Amino acid sequence: MTTEIDTAHAAMEAAPEDDAVRLRFYERLADSELFLLLASEPEADDDITPEVIEADGIQYVLVFDREERLADFAERAASYAAVSGRGLAQMLMGQNIGMGVNLGQASSILIPPAAIDWLMETLGNAPEEQMARPVEITAPKGLPETLLTGLDRKLASAAGLAKSAYLAGVTYDNGNKSHILTFIGATDGAEHALANAVAEALTFSGIDAGMLDVTFVPENSQFAERLKRVGIGFDLPEPEMQDDHVPGSNPGMDPNSPPKLR
């Protein structure tokens, strides 16, 4: 089975000078659930010992985007932890340890420590809060397809955080013009995560000095009705119900509370 990381890696290999393609690979890596090969069974959920290899004097932990790929590489009954790519990058940041991804597969790559630090700095580009009142809403114009695709992909992973989102052109009361992405019916407390998701989509689209405003309105607001008439809509999927599992309960799946490396 070809995975999203396989596809993004192949595109990057085919266009090594294309910064936008390389950014999309790192975006897929950050957004993916990965399986981290462990040297031993974890003593606790927040205390794990990864398997480490060394190449050219640099240590690398080993991750795979499919459990069967990890098993094929280990050739033994192996312990592993499910981690998000961004959670693992946070764990490794500043540790001078790289990430070996899908070794033995077509998408095999060694990501050095400097690239891990760069990825975390890129993911840390948080949006800034500003105050301005929209006075005109229009159809969006001139936005690159890479941004629209990136938003669609990013919002598809934000299940349950809002009902929908609309992208439109906007003019503010101070005369400034921009584009605005408005989330309708956002879950309480989800605003920060949604704004960060949009910021990441903008960053990884490869647009230089791009800007996209984000706002939140209730489902029954007049502003939402205006957006639906002229904007581009994005449907956020309903969250999947999972029995006997709390999302993010595996080690590393919550980047705000990553496990400790030993």
pLDDT tens sequence across 157-214: 888 899 999 999 999 998 889 899 999 999 999 998 898 888 888 888 766 545 789 9
Just give the CATH number of 134-230. 3.30.70
Please state, in angstroms and rounded to a whole number, the distance separating the CA atoms of residues 88 and 63. 9
Q: Structural domain boundaries of the chain?
A: 4-124+246-261, 134-230
Distance CA 234, CA 184 (A): 10
Average pLDDT, the chain: 85
Q: pLDDT tens for residues 80-90?
A: 999 999 899 99
- pLDDT (0 to 100) of residue 45: 59
Report pLDDT for 146.
82
Dist. CA 145–CA 25, nearest whole Å: 17
pLDDT tens, position by position, 115-157: 999 998 888 766 667 778 889 999 998 888 888 888 888 888 8
Exposure letters 7-23 (e unless 16+ CB within 10 A, then b): ebbebbeeeeeeeebbb
3-state secondary structure 38-65: ECCCCCECCEECECEEEECCEEEEEEEC
Report the pLDDT value the prediction gives residue 143, as an integer from 0 to 100.
85
Q: Six-digit token pair at 87?
A: 């959670």
Check residue 10 and give its pLDDT: 97
